[in-house]
Structure 1
Amino acid sequence: MELNLSCAMLLTETAYRFGRRCEYEVSKASSLGPTPSQSPVLEPFLPSERIASSHLKNAVIHKLEPFTPEGAVSAYHRAIEPWFPIAYKLQDRLGPTWDETSLDVGLLCLSILLLTTNPSSTANSDGNTSELEFFYLQTKSSLAWAEGLGLNSSPIVQSRILITLFEVSHGFYPAAYVSIGATLGAVDALEVYPSGDALQLHYTNGAVSHEETILTWCGILVLDRYIAVESGPRSSLTHPRTEWLHNLLKPALCPTHEPNQDKNSPVARFARLVEASAMLDKIHTTINSSMSEQMFNIEEVMLTVKTSITLQTILTEEILAEDHLYSGGLGLCHIALLLAFENGTKVSFSANATEECNSLATTSLICILSTITSTVELFTMGTRSVDFNCFPPFVTFLVYKTAMITTERLAMELDTNDGLARLRTLRKFLRIVAKRWLGCVCKERYLKLLDENTTPRMLKAIEQMQGSF
């Protein structure tokens, strides 16, 4: 009974931090899964007797059913692998039934089902904790029980990565920032790195393959760098290891760009994401460093911008124009350039070089604002619909950042005519994407942040435009 009570108190406290009222009945079970029940009730996972991994596995199976191992694989291949191929050889690790599947792989499948669950159209409309939040709380609780039982493995680390990705996608902050730190600690505890002596024992035992290690670290790096940009001026947690990790990953990632390589392999798809995230991390760290180093920072940012533009050009050529929206690497490149150009327009020094930098940054900023708006505009006109199975949630922050910069420029009476049309398009796209990723509208993110910086006059002008929403 004490464990039941503790679990219930934990879930209640977590729901309270989200600003929701947590209502549950201990004696009933929730049937929440990828197709949530209409009236969810929350049951603490574990019995009151002595806890063992078998109890946790039974609880995880209870949450996975009635979905089968094949269903979990199908969900992963359909809606995660196209843009974040993190689950290494998932199908090979699954048994015919959940009972024949190991606990750590079961936890990974639970995280997959969580991330692929669509939010209800009425989520949070009545102020209660939503069904999706219940599912999230229970999934994260199961991972916490596994940690308490001393369980750690590559599938558990991948499960942590997917839960962190869920938090990023749906606007669970600062939870995402805390989770990526725990994930980094978990992979360090395994002593699994892309290469080197630390891995020799793992390779000998066949426990962790080189490819799986590469994918795991790629996922951590991309998420960590993205979360750092979302969370403020702090550097990413992995930033002090950048050069070391780059040298370890380079032999695996660089060959994927050669003409004769399979561009659809998981490592190849992650390679561009990691490259773009590296540019984003470098620009983010540089522009947030000490003001006493500002002149050096300008030179550093300009050098990184040139590299980012080169990578952006390569990605643009590699990807069909109609698929630009679905490229996470291109999205991260655009975020990096937005940060750099926005910073360049605000640097004020008397040096001629800096004045030229301001002018160039302004011109480049307007160009990229227009490019991003044009990319999403077709999806707001009903000409095309968003394929959310292929749509990386990283792009939502790009659209939000574009809208925020446009809002600020409108407030300063810059780009008045084009800016209003651009802002309307961007806001409308965020509402469309909110049907899949809640970070666009809830948790005080994105549209709510935009509203705080948009004057009533500007909102009225947007609403009066033809086809307003």
Structure 2
Amino acid sequence: MSTQGRAMIADKACTRCSQSKRGCDRAVPGCGRCTRIRRRCEYEVSKTSRLSPPPSQSPGPGTFLVSEPTAPNQLKNATIQKLEPLTPESAVAAYRRAVEPWFPIAYRLQDRLHPTWDETSLDVALLCLSILLLTTSPSMNVNSDGKTSELETLYLQTKSSLALAEGLGLNSFPIVQSRILITLFEVSHGFYPAAYISIGATVRAVDALEDHPTGDVLQPHGSAGAVSEEETILTWCGILVLDRYIATESGPRSSLTRSRTAWLHNLLKPALCPTHEPNQDKNSPRARFARLVEASAMLDKIHTTINSPTSEQIFNLEEVMLTVKTSTTLQTLLTEEILAEDHLYSGTLGLCHIALLLAFENGTKISFSASNATENWNSLATTSLLSILSTITSTVEPFTVGTRSIDFNSFPPLVTFLVYKAAMITTERLSRGLDAANDDGMARLRTLRKFLRIVGKRWLSCERYLKLLDEDTTPRMLKAIEQG
């Protein structure tokens, strides 16, 4: 068809827009609204119909965008295609139900949304797309015959949308929060090295908001004017927790934000410290994040001390022991604040346990020096390690024997690394014959591995952990585990 024919404008609105009493741009062969929502567009005018070519087939749910958006309004239309039939109201409901209980990062989401996606700004729509991604369960999207699953397709499309926004020069706090949720998705499903790379891009994105403020293209998005202090705090809290967690899980390198600890402490202290006062609401988003950041700081300190020690062994030992004491104090406070049946759903308690596992595991492996301090620490670490392994096992055991079922809406996936770490340490101790009661150690390992299999139906990182455990387990031990 000629260019003149493709640019043709109909005499009146299409049938769908007329029936719904919506504005129609009358474009031929399909108006903008019908094209955006991927619906067949029809005109009553016979002359126009004869000139119109057959409508193109709508892309299936597993295909990528038909064409790359080259402008903010095109990117918004493409984003809305991915969100529909999800409504702004249902996006808020999904966030409050399945993300906010354990990671309250989307600041004033409901206030920023409008009744329809057309009225919602691009950056908030991208944030909702990330929420949709994080709340989508892989159990409904089984990967077969080597094809990309719907979950993986949605992930790639969401990443692509953020990359396009970056290329178009768009940046805002909702976009940074969207990056945080995508990184959280990658961590929760074991997408590495993607998560390791994404956290670095997220840190730069929030830095860019200060160094290169966004232009008018995203205004208004419901938060016109200066960004509130609370939004800055919640955003940095999310980045800190993920950065420290990813660094701990990925290897010996320090977290990216380690060099700016003092600056971030000064930024967050005035707002976070008052939340620990007795009269403060311990369940508010700020209070929950304050505790989570506090636990992540302990984890980061132990991880750095173990992997970047000084030449003075006694100094390193004192640093670890001091951090262990602080972590234990926080752990005691948390056990008083949280009901015993809710311990599994506390990401803060989970990070505390990871920090203590790292410290005690390291303590059991240190070489003795002339000082009795190392020998005493080795003995204490061995006893404490067995104690915390038993605590972790007893916490997850009710969910493996059918006594209780997991509420995945409230379950923080960061806890999965804790269970994996406990299983890894137990496997190593059994292989080296260090457990006095071998049967107890094997029973513990079965429970931890079974829990990972159960949680793996929701968070795919558990499948990755089980594969890593299998690689470090002898065939004889694997057979004993299966026979148990």
TM (normalized to structure 1)?
Answer: 0.86
Question: Is 1:82 paired with 2:101?
Answer: yes
65-74 or 252-261, which deviates more = 252-261
Which residue of 1 is the match for residue 374 of structure 2?
Answer: 354
Deviations, residues 256-312 of structure 1 (Å, cap 9, x unaligned): 111211222211110100000000000000000146343321110010000000000
> How do residues 59-458 of structure 1 correspond to structure 2 at under 5 angstroms?
59-120=78-139, 123-191=142-210, 206-290=225-309, 292-351=311-370, 352-415=372-435, 416-441=438-463, 445-458=464-477
Alpha-carbon contact 1:61-1:106 (below 8 Å) kept: yes
Amino acid at match of 1:283: I
Greater C-alpha radius of gyration: 2
How far apart are the structure 2 equivalents of 1:182 and 1:274? 20
How far apart are the structure 1 equivalents of 2:234 and 2:63? 37
How far apart are the structure 1 equivalents of 2:144 and 2:341? 35
RMSD: 1.6
Amino acid at match of 1:407: T
How far apart are the structure 1 equivalents of 2:411 and 2:383? 29
How far apart are the structure 2 equivalents of 1:45 and 1:335? 45
How far apart are the structure 1 equivalents of 2:380 and 2:469? 26
Provide structure 2 residue ranges, at least 5 long, that are not aligned to the other structure.
Answer: 1-55, 212-222
Measured after TM superposition, the shift of residue 121 of structure 1 is: 5.5
TM (normalized to structure 2)?
Answer: 0.83
58-67 or 286-295, which deviates more = 286-295
Percent same amino acid at aligned positions? 81
Measured after TM superposition, the shift of residue 46 of structure 1 is: 2.4
Measured after TM superposition, the shift of residue 99 of structure 1 is: 0.3
How far apart are the structure 2 equivalents of 1:296 and 1:205? 50
Alpha-carbon contact 2:141-2:150 (below 8 Å) kept: no
Question: Is 1:29 paired with 2:59?
Answer: yes
SS of equivalent residue, structure 1 residue 389 = coil
Count of matched residue pairs: 415
Measured after TM superposition, the shift of residue 131 of structure 1 is: 1.3
How far apart are the structure 1 equivalents of 2:400 and 2:244? 29
Alpha-carbon contact 2:65-2:78 (below 8 Å) kept: no
Measured after TM superposition, the shift of residue 246 of structure 1 is: 1.1
Deviations, residues 412-436 of structure 1 (Å, cap 9, x unaligned): 0122111100000000000000111
Which runs of structure 1 show a deviation greater than 4 angstroms over 4 or more consecutive aligned residues?
A: none
How far apart are the structure 1 equivalents of 2:227 and 2:474? 54
Alpha-carbon contact 1:30-1:43 (below 8 Å) kept: no
SS of equivalent residue, structure 1 residue 311 = helix
How far apart are the structure 1 equivalents of 2:151 and 2:263? 39
Closer, same or farther: CA 245–291 of 1 in aligned 2, 3 Å: closer
Amino acid at match of 1:29: P
How far apart are the structure 1 equivalents of 2:381 and 2:365? 9
